[in-house]
Amino acid sequence: MLLMKDIVRDGHPVLRKKAAEVTIPPLKEDVEILEDMLTFIKNSQDEEIAEKYHLRSGVGLAAPQIGISKQLLVVHFEYDDQLYSYQLMNPKIISHSVQKAFLGGGEGCLSVDEVIEGYVPRNAKITVRAFDINGNPVKIRLKGYPAIVMQHEIDHLNGIMFYDHINKENPFHIPENAKIIE
Ligand code: ZN
């Protein structure tokens, strides 16, 4: 069972590396990593379990965040009465909107213990091509908050942290063509 001690914190070089593609059909070990990661995120959202094991609540996790430099990620959350739960291998953004979007409250990360304020502009809509945990190809279209979460996790596979996107001169600068998501 993954715990907070297993989460690699900011400053560790694995978070700045481009993660390696995994083999398709999936290796048993990669399937197990995805299962462990999803269990961790679900546990982190369960009040009782989270309190017992001192888990910070999260909505997504990428393998580099547990020290594994492979293109594996999970997201799991409810938004607008819909469940977004994915365990993905080798995800790629194949197209995106011109319009940008950002979270009014900024972003957080299980690998970043402090709060870093500022707007994180991302694409408002994305289409992702990936393989699911069974090795089947999937194409996923997301917009708004779910699109932002997915981009945050895919960034981890490319060595990018959310705060890299924050405007250095003015962290609350609103980019052109961007809508705020509350
Ligand atoms: Zn993160």
Could you read off the pLDDT tens digit of each residue along the chain, which spans 182 residues? 999 999 999 999 999 999 999 999 999 999 999 999 999 999 999 999 999 999 999 999 999 999 999 999 999 999 999 999 999 999 999 999 999 999 999 999 999 999 999 999 999 999 999 999 999 999 999 999 999 999 999 999 999 999 999 999 999 999 899 999 98
Q: From CA 41, how far away is CA 177, in angstroms rounded?
A: 32
Angle among Cα 82, 85, 91 to the nearest 5 degrees reads: 125
Sign of CA dihedral 130, 135, 137, 138: negative
Q: Which domains does the chain have, with CATH numbers?
A: 4-181 (3.90.45.10)
55 alpha carbon to ligand 1 midpoint, in Å?
A: 15
The predicted pLDDT at position 158 comes to 98
Residue 35 has a CB neighbour count (10 Å cut-off) of 13
Q: Is the distance from CB of 72 to CB of 57 less than 8 angstroms?
A: no
156 alpha carbon to ligand 1 midpoint, in Å?
A: 7
The predicted pLDDT at position 23 comes to 98
Backbone angles phi, psi at 68, to 5 degrees: -110, 115
The predicted pLDDT at position 37 comes to 98
The predicted pLDDT at position 36 comes to 98
The predicted pLDDT at position 2 comes to 98
97 alpha carbon to ligand 1 midpoint, in Å?
A: 22
Across-strand partners of 61? Answer: 74
The predicted pLDDT at position 141 comes to 98
153 alpha carbon to ligand 1 midpoint, in Å?
A: 6
Please name the residue that has the structure tokens 């390696």: 20
Residue 108 has a CB neighbour count (10 Å cut-off) of 18
Q: From CA 38, how far away is CA 155, in angstroms rounded?
A: 18
The residues annotated with a catalytic role in the active site are 153
